[in-house]
Amino acid sequence: MSRGIETKCLHLEEDEGLNNNYGAISYPIYQTATYAHLGVGKSTGYDYSRLQNPTREHLEKVVATLENGVDALAVSTGMAAITLMMELFHPGDNLIVDADLYGGSIRLFSNVSRKNGITFSAIDCYREDIESYINEKTKAIYIETPTNPMMNVTDIEELSKIAEKYNLLLIVDNTFLSPYFQNPLDLGADIVVHSGTKYLGGHNDTLAGFLVTNREDISEKLRFLIKTTGSGLAPFDSWLILRGIKTLGIRMEKAQKNAIELANWLKKKSAVKKVIYPGLPEHPGHEIMKKQARGFGAMLTFRLESREYALAILEKVRMIKFAESLGGVETLITYPTTQTHADVPAEIRKRNGITDATLRLSVGIEDVKDLIDELDKVFNEIEGELHG
Ligand SMILES: *Cc1c(COP(=O)(O)O)cnc(C)c1O
């Protein structure tokens, strides 16, 4: 019987009863580049840390379990994971990608991958007729759900039926919900991407990335690629992510609880023109998320009445930090226009609905009363300055 995800964050079933590593409860950091052989053909199972390192391997097994995959690869950043994934494709291949993605993914696809002869059809996967974009060159569909930053929700299971029909890979960046709330492989995806920097690490202190798959053939290709390209996660960073994962469940629950309260509080503010949070019943993706995820996460996007108002909030917040990134214990606020999505062409931002009055909150695990107090003070000050 499969264990609950909170238990899987703490215990790797296959290690039990082995008394490895002197019984150490915290997995040791094997800070070594290479490994001695007792004789020709007598490897310990480890030869060189670019190929594999015990600490990284332990982390990979934990993440594979969390996503119900057969294999997970831990690499240096989320972008390194997506770059590694792109090595599965060849010049001439076409990918259908969601139009609203993490800015770094759009930058990678439109600059690096395109230079390598790969083409992209960027569409709104949550509402467009995907089949009409598939041609003989199409090899994969790449999505985020909910998307960054507009929180569009795509039905993964429906999409996987299309992917299967046309023999395409379905790749889902699951960073926003983490395996705690959503498992795309169970819904028919072939590869899951994570920026481990975000909820898995959870403390805004380490960068990491993951590719998880439930297909042996893909695992084999990715293992060859990680060994060859060399972006595997360092032992100490692997250990930090392992430590972060131990509290994934309680962090996600608390952050989500805070996000729901903040979303409802923001909705009552007259200067806030729109609150986009899939946990709100009026969100167009709310019902799909109820079906395919176990929660709504803690990311929310909101639009102010004006650019001035949005900028004033960024100037005035103190406890809430004006910073890129997300998924950590501290609440962060960002301005997608100049930060996460600065390299996305203005017309694409506009098309996706990212205006210069749009802000994105990564809600942390503080006492929600203090988050509301700070925002209340900030809003009142701005009201006085702009409308007083
Ligand atoms: C941050 C992020 C990435 C990139 O991850 P890094 O660890 O910063 O390289 C990819 N996808 C999403 C959805 C992200 O939020």
Decide: 103 in ligand 1 pocket, CB within 6 A.
no
- 115 assigned to active site: no
pLDDT value of residue 72:
98
Decide: 175 in ligand 1 pocket, CB within 6 A.
yes
Instruction: Give the Cβ contact number of residue 300 at 10 Å.
Output: 24
Q: Per-residue confidence at 342, pLDDT binned at 50, 70, 90?
A: confident
The percentage of residues in the chain with a pLDDT greater than 90, rounded to a whole number, is 90
- 198 assigned to active site: yes
Mean pLDDT of 78-98: 98
Note whether 32 and 172 are same-domain residues: yes
Please give the model's pTM, rounded to 2 decimal places.
Answer: 0.96
Mean pLDDT of 346-375: 92
Residues 6+ apart with CB under 8 A from 219: 70, 71, 213
CB 150, CB 352: distance < 8 Å: yes
**Per this entry, what is the length of the chain?**
388
CA-nearest of 259, 288, 290 to 275 is 259
pLDDT value of residue 149:
86
Note whether 152 and 256 are same-domain residues: no
Note whether 93 and 193 are same-domain residues: yes
Instruction: Give the Cβ contact number of residue 220 at 10 Å.
Output: 12
75 CA from centroid of ligand 1 (Å): 12
Decide: 206 in ligand 1 pocket, CB within 6 A.
no
340: pLDDT strictly greater than 80? no
338: pLDDT strictly greater than 90? no
Q: What is the pLDDT of residues 130-150, one digit of tens each?
A: 999 999 999 999 999 999 888
Decide: 160 in ligand 1 pocket, CB within 6 A.
no
> Ligand 1 atom 1: the closest Cα is on which residue?
195
Question: What are the C-alpha distances in Å from 369 to residues 172, 195, 283, 359, 380?
Answer: 34, 29, 24, 20, 16
Note whether 235 and 289 are same-domain residues: no
Token couple for 188: 């028919």
pLDDT value of residue 69:
98
Token couple for 61: 């097994």
341: pLDDT strictly greater than 90? no
Note whether 350 and 293 are same-domain residues: yes
Phi, psi of 362 (to 5 degrees): -105, 105
Pick the residue with more confidence: 348 or 311? 311
Q: What is the pLDDT of residues 189-205, one digit of tens each?
A: 999 999 999 999 999 99
Note whether 209 and 272 are same-domain residues: no
The parent domain of residue 381 ranges over: 248-387
> Ligand 1 atom 8: the closest Cα is on which residue?
78
pLDDT value of residue 2:
84
280 CA from centroid of ligand 1 (Å): 25
DSSP code at position 190:
S
Phi, psi of 225 (to 5 degrees): -70, -40
pLDDT value of residue 143:
98
Q: What is the pLDDT of residues 221-259, one digit of tens each?
A: 999 999 999 999 999 999 999 999 999 999 999 999 999
How many angstroms separate the CA atoms of 68 and 352, rounded?
A: 32
Note whether 215 and 324 are same-domain residues: no
Note whether 198 and 334 are same-domain residues: no
CB-count burial class (<10 Å; 0-12, 13-18, 19+) for 195: buried
Provide the domain count of the chain: 2
CATH code for position 27: 3.40.640.10
- Domain final residue, candidates 221, 245, 269: 245
Mean pLDDT of 172-180: 98
Token couple for 248: 């994934």
- Domain final residue, candidates 226, 245, 264: 245
How many angstroms separate the CA atoms of 213 and 192, rounded?
A: 6
How many angstroms separate the CA atoms of 278 and 263, rounded?
A: 10
pLDDT value of residue 91:
98
